[in-house]
């Protein structure tokens, strides 16, 4: 995959991110990519960038809900669903921190990912309160969904 430099190349890369295509290669290209933030295109570029981040967060949430609902209480399936969610959130967090994004925007985007993960984790912990065995709560706490380091 080519390292993006132009707006068109970045736009194609953002489309690939939204479609979940070649995540490892796409993330590497984004981390190595450059973009000259000219006033004319910087705002549009940032809109595309944040749209890709939000789309991936929405997809991660939808996939997790589907996988969690289908787990039917199976510990293995629950662990797999949480693990997949965590992997997706880490990807989006790394994407939010790519070097070519201005620092203020980088922090804003990283906060979007972190806040989304915390909200999801909190919601899961609330749901786990109805689990009398306490196992679901332990799985969620151990997964540390909202920690990306």
In this prediction, residue 139 carries a pLDDT of 86
What residues have CB less than 8 Å from 111, skipping those under 6 apart?
Answer: none
Higher pLDDT, 72 or 69: 69
**CA dihedral sign, ordered 77, 79, 83, 86:** positive
pLDDT at 136 over 90: no
Per-residue 3-state assignment (H helix, E strand, C coil) for 104-117? HHHHHHHHHHHHHH
Integer angstrom CA distances of residue 64 from 78, 87, 132, 147:
10, 11, 22, 17
Q: What is the mean pLDDT of the chain?
A: 91
In this prediction, residue 148 carries a pLDDT of 83
pLDDT at 133 over 80: no
C-alpha 69/C-alpha 51 separation (Å) is 27
Least confident of 23-27, 109-113, 123-127: 123-127
In this prediction, residue 141 carries a pLDDT of 87
In this prediction, residue 135 carries a pLDDT of 80
The predicted model scores a pTM of 0.91
pLDDT at 76 over 90: no
pLDDT tens digits, one per residue of 53-63: 999 999 999 99
């Amino acid at each position: 995959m080519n390292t993006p430099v132009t707006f068109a190349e970045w736009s194609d890369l953002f489309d690939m991110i939204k479609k979940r295509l070649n995540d490892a290669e796409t993330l590497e290209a984004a981390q190595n990519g450059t973009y000259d933030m000219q006033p004319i295109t910087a705002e549009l570029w940032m809109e595309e960038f944040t749209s890709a981040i939000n789309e991936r967060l929405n997809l991660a949430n939808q996939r997790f809900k589907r996988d969690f609902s289908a787990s039917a209480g199976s510990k293995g399936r629950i662990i797999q669903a949480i693990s997949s969610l965590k992997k997706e959130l880490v990807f989006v967090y790394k994407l939010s921190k790519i070097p070519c994004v201005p620092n203020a925007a980088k922090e804003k985007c990283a906060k979007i990912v972190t806040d989304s993960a915390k909200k999801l984790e909190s919601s899961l912990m609330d749901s786990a309160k109805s689990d009398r065995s306490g196992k679901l709560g332990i799985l969620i706490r151990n997964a540390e969904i909202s920690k990306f380091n």
